[in-house]
Amino acid sequence: MPPTIAWVDGRIELVDQTVLPALRVVAVGTVEELVDAIRRLVVRGAPALGAAGALGVALAARTLDGTELAAAAVKLAEARPTAVNLGYGVQRALAAADRGPDAVLAAALDVLAEDVAACHAIGRRGADLLGELCGPGPLRLHTHCNAGALACVDWGTALGVVRSLHGEGRVRYVVADETRPLLQGSRITAVELAEMGVPHRVVVDGAGPSIIARGLVDAVVVGADRVAANGDVANKIGTYPLALAAARAGIPFVVAAPESTLDPATPDGAAIEIEERAAEEVLVVGGVRFTPPGTSAWNPAFDVTPADLVTAVVTENRVWRPGA
């Protein structure tokens, strides 16, 4: 698999995540193209969006400065609302603007390098934590959406934990929710687990809680798009039911995320803006509309898991137990 996101000859190369498991790499050369790619989920996942935002500012800084550069940065930061990393990456790169385009690019590349290091540290710390909570294993894990290398610059957060455990022979299997409507679980997480050689099964989202209730899972491990100051966690729609099921079953619900996903400026989950996406994503499956004409849909892209259901948030620096 090529890198999720990379700076190549003055353009941003992205693995096009709308067509996975088919492989296509696209090159983006303008802010407008990048905003479109972010909105269409060509690049997706909170840490990868942070990298995209930072490289987008580097792209803009080659031709713009002053208020024009600031306006381009706002467009990038507002391309999607929920993942705090997007604005974080934009701001990190923009902070170097008065030192010129090369300094902006260097700051953006720092964001990418830091994300890789953070994911490795999260993977190690998360594996140790699951050892403490569940014993040495091999463990039966459950994840949702894709919090792997393709949601980050490399390695992954929740799947970084799986990588670390798998490297020690401590994974029995991973249950991956398919993650309606855009199937990040089936199309992306399953690809990463297969590449790692981890035994796995995809389940429909509605099956996840009952699989946990049947005692078939030792721990849930997911990523996050934004963690509020009180520990409420926004992640892909369908995460909250897993947290409820985990609490009921008495198994750990662990959130793996870099410090850049923690947002002290947002007091709680109610203050997190939840992206509402097009109804068509729900109503049309594989190009076929299954609902009668006139039926519409709600399509919130994320939900909020309250802090009291979160066993731990594992970052590159610490294990935080907001619910304790």
User: CA-to-CA distance for 90 and 96, rounded, in angstroms?
Assistant: 11
The residues binding ligand MRU (CB under 6 A) are 41, 44-47, 83, 145, 147, 151-152, 157, 184, 223-225, 235-236, 301
277 is in an annotated binding site: no
Minimum CB distance to ligand MRU, residue 292 (Å) = 28
248 is in an annotated binding site: no
Among the listed residues 310, 323, 201, the one whose alpha carbon sits nearest the alpha carbon of residue 257: 310
**Residue 225 annotated in active site:** yes
- Based on CB atoms, which residue is closest to ligand MRU, 130 or 304? 304
Minimum CB distance to ligand MRU, residue 137 (Å) = 22
17 is in an annotated binding site: no
- Based on CB atoms, which residue is closest to ligand MRU, 157 or 164? 157
Residue nearest to ligand MRU (CB): 223
Give the containing element (helix H, strand E) for 260: none
- Based on CB atoms, which residue is closest to ligand MRU, 104 or 190? 190
SS3 call for 218: coil
- Based on CB atoms, which residue is closest to ligand MRU, 151 or 309? 151
Q: Choose the catalytic residue: 115, 154, 225, 232.
A: 225
Q: What angle do CA 298, 303, 308 make, to 5 degrees?
A: 150
* AA letter at 285: V
Token readout for 267 is 């007091």
163 is in an annotated binding site: no
Minimum CB distance to ligand MRU, residue 71 (Å) = 24
User: CA-to-CA distance for 275 and 82, rounded, in angstroms?
Assistant: 6
C-beta of residue 79 within 8 angstroms of C-beta of residue 35: yes
Minimum CB distance to ligand MRU, residue 302 (Å) = 6
Q: How many helices (H) and strands (E) does the chain have?
A: 11, 16
User: CA-to-CA distance for 196 and 163, rounded, in angstroms?
Assistant: 7
Give the containing element (helix H, strand E) for 196: helix 190-196
Per the annotation, binding residues for substrate are: 44-46, 80, 184, 235-236
Where in the sequence numbering do the catalytic residues fall? 225
